[in-house]
Amino acid sequence: MAVVCSKGDWFVSSCSTTLVAIHLKQSREPFVFDCAKAEKKPKEADGGDKSAGDGPEEKDSDRILAFAASASGKHVALTDDHKRLVLFCTEPSWQCISTRWVVRRCTSLVFTQAEDEVFVADKSGDVYSFSVLEPQKPGELKLGHLSMLLDVTLSPDDKYIITADRDEKIRVSFRRSPYNIQAFCLGHREFVSALLVPAGHPDWLLSGSGDGTVKVWHYETGRRLHSVDLRQLGLDSENSDTEKRFAVSRILSSPDGRHVAVQCERLPSVQLFMVDSGTEGSLNPAETLALPLAPWDVTFDSQNQLWVLLESEDLNVLLYRYSEQNWKVHTCSSVTVFPCTEVNSSLTNCLCLFIAV
């Protein structure tokens, strides 16, 4: 499994135990961080704890479970299977500024817009807050759930923390007093796997689920504005079984707020939508990108280009640009793709992008 993210001038990818950051505009050496070589948790601090929510068959490893970048790209955080929370600053150069420890394995991270805190959701349903300004300060429990959390996000004004769980529910809580619940967004029939407050629409929430739908909410009131059943768009047209279950794994918004991309697990396609600029939260299906393989991950960069990371060693990345009302594959000789073996011999399926200035 590999994950990609583009923030500011940095393109960041993770695979297995390694995080790689490439500067998009300057010829710099890539920053590489290997969790297998990171600080180990002291045994006295561990205490042999086998936390609830971590099954007895799971053993500590150094595999990266999730990472996130702040809005400005000045901070990045990752969490791994060894229950580390590693915080980086990216300016003037990349460096690790702290390694802290979470209680249970984590599923999702998000920075506040103010970039003073990072929120961490874990497998037992808890959300912890870790200070960015005090990078050695232990985490603080903010809220709990009865079910495993699959995603967490924040409203653009940092007023609300929004969580999605395995039991079909989306909860909107006040960040400063999380015990006060503002609303629930209810309507999915399966686990809620992806959340997004889209660019340009700070009062909307997009959610994706194992029921194969994407829904648009006015999250402050919990009112559903729109729903799209992805199966009706032919995302799995090659499979004659129309009842086949598939889950949304990723929802992304382009920085200009015009486009939304949706990725589903194990499907070799990405669905693109145009965002209706009105107030009713409509997503208009625009195009289905047919891919040679199922993607590991997708991301928009600051130029509204769509990067697609494929499950392949030979052709790692496809780059799409929106032109003349269509998304077109862009071929550019200045983009060179190396397999992760060029960075770490233990990794065979990740990517490292070197982009010429």
Helix (H), strand (E), coil (C) string for 81-141:
CCCEEEEEECCCCCEEEEEEECCCCEEEEEECCCCCEEEEEECCCCEEEEECCCCCCCCEE
pLDDT of residue 29: 87
Task: Find tokens 């079984």 and name the residue.
Answer: 241
Over the Cα atoms of the chain, what is R_g? Answer: 20
pLDDT of residue 215: 97
Q: Is the C-alpha dihedral spanning 212, 218, 224, 226 positive or negative? A: negative
What's the rounded Cα separation, in Å, for the pair 259 and 203?
Answer: 17
Beta bridge partners of 25: none
If we measure between CA atoms, which residue out of 33, 38, 31 comes closest to residue 15? Answer: 33
If we measure between CA atoms, which residue out of 158, 185, 194 comes closest to residue 174? Answer: 158
pLDDT of residue 263: 96
pLDDT of residue 157: 97
pLDDT of residue 9: 81
pLDDT of residue 261: 97
pLDDT of residue 314: 66
3-class secondary structure, 35? helix
pLDDT of residue 1: 62
What's the rounded Cα separation, in Å, for the pair 207 and 183?
Answer: 15
- What are the 10-residue block averages of pLDDT along the chain, 357 residues in total? 80 91 85 92 58 52 93 95 96 94 96 97 96 96 94 98 96 96 97 96 96 96 95 66 73 96 94 85 91 92 91 79 91 45 40 40
What's the rounded Cα separation, in Å, for the pair 337 and 354?
Answer: 7
pLDDT of residue 46: 54
pLDDT of residue 24: 80
